[in-house]
Amino acid sequence: MKTENEPAGKTHFGYQTIDKNDKEKMVASVFHSVAAKYDIMNDLMSFGVHRLWKRFTIDASAVRPGNKVLDLAGGTGDLTRKFSEIVGPTGQVVLADINDSMIKVGREKLRNKGYVGNIEYVQANAEALPFADNTFDLVTIAFGLRNVTNKDNALASIFRVLKPGGRLLVLEFSKPQQEWLNKAYDFYSFNILPSMGQAIANDKESYQYLSESIRMHPDQDTLKSMMENVGFEQVGYHNLTGGIVALHKGFKF
């Protein structure tokens, strides 16, 4: 399980060590490739459980009518859709993603379902968010932080754009808490998931990377410390599905 201690100028792309300047375009290539099949693969890969993880995140958000929400790495808009309903016409949801293919899929899906009034779409890098200080009541990033080149920079950027009293929710794959589950999850991730990606999306390599990126992501306590180091307070996490996924929450005061 990775920490942020990497050689100068280097970072990880799955299990590969690469130049930091190359990661953004390599991750972009993965998500350009998987965008069209992203939703169906999420359902297949998680057996639909990702919907419960996202529902838990929404319930934990304490979002209210009139709030301004940033759904960072918002992809195809699952969280954006629900937040749009909750904040209502007096609120706003910004779906931001670094990948324009993912934004296009999300925008088309949401507009086809009639979500047009209070949603804005922005292509943005999490490490340098193009928003003013103290803008959002809530920032969420679901299954996106592990793909960011410098997670510390991204967390600091999120902290900056949150209003005082605002909160961050990070929903991300993490470390299973039982050894038997860890072994079973490894077997599934590296023996079944890439083959599923080949069969459904004709892209084994991208899903191999996604499996590797999960293993290289900081574990629960490491991510908690990283959030605290950039200024978040009352940071805690809740393990879901035995720690396969964890929801971290922190506040800006």
* Residue 201, in any domain of the structure: no
Q: Going by C-beta distance under 8 Å and a sequence separation of 6 or more, which residues neighbour residue 150?
A: 4, 11, 20, 127
Mean pLDDT of 73-98: 96
Residue 67 has pLDDT above 90, yes or no: yes
pLDDT at 36: 66
Contact 112, 88 (CB under 8 A): no
For Cα atoms 78, 82, 88, give the angle at the middle one, nearest 5 degrees: 140
CATH number of the domain encompassing residue 70: 3.40.50.150
Please tell me which residue, 134 or 186, carries the higher pLDDT value: 134
Residue 37 has pLDDT above 70, yes or no: no
* Residue 137, in any domain of the structure: yes
- Within 10 Å of residue 30's Cβ, how many Cβ atoms? 21
**What is the H or E stretch that residue 31 is in?**
helix 20-34
Gap between the Cα atoms of 45 and 203, Å rounded: 14
pLDDT at 205: 83
Instruction: Show the domain range for 18.
Output: 10-178+206-251
Residue 175 has pLDDT above 80, yes or no: yes
pTM for the structure as a whole: 0.86
Q: Going by C-beta distance under 8 Å and a sequence separation of 6 or more, which residues neighbour residue 109?
A: 39, 76, 77
Mean pLDDT of 46-63: 93
Contact 115, 91 (CB under 8 A): no
Gap between the Cα atoms of 23 and 31, Å rounded: 12
pLDDT at 197: 76
Dig out the tokens for 41 from the structure: 């693969």
Mean pLDDT of 124-141: 97
Q: E strands along the chain, which residues?
A: 10-13, 16-19, 68-72, 92-97, 119-123, 136-142, 162-173, 233-240, 245-251
Please tell me which residue, 222 or 31, carries the higher pLDDT value: 222
Residue 78 annotated as lining a ligand binding site: no
pLDDT tens digits, 193-203? 888 878 877 77
Q: Mean pLDDT across the chain, nearest whole number? A: 89
Contact 79, 58 (CB under 8 A): yes
**What share of the chain in percent tops pLDDT 90?**
65
Residue 157 has pLDDT above 70, yes or no: yes
pLDDT at 6: 56
* Residue 192, in any domain of the structure: no
Residue 142 annotated as lining a ligand binding site: no
Gap between the Cα atoms of 157 and 127, Å rounded: 6
Mean pLDDT of 138-157: 95
* Residue 243, in any domain of the structure: yes
pLDDT at 1: 44
pLDDT at 171: 97
3-state secondary structure of 115: coil
Residue 97 annotated as lining a ligand binding site: yes
* Residue 223, in any domain of the structure: yes
Which band of pLDDT confidence, cut at 50, 70 and 90, is reported for residue 221?
A: very high
* Residue 81, in any domain of the structure: yes
Dig out the tokens for 213 from the structure: 């990126």
pLDDT at 22: 74
Mean pLDDT of 37-52: 77
Residue 140 annotated as lining a ligand binding site: no
Question: Structural domain tally of the chain?
Answer: 1
* Residue 185, in any domain of the structure: no
Residue 2 has pLDDT above 50, yes or no: no
**What share of the chain in percent tops pLDDT 70?**
91
Residue 138 has pLDDT above 90, yes or no: yes
* Residue 65, in any domain of the structure: yes
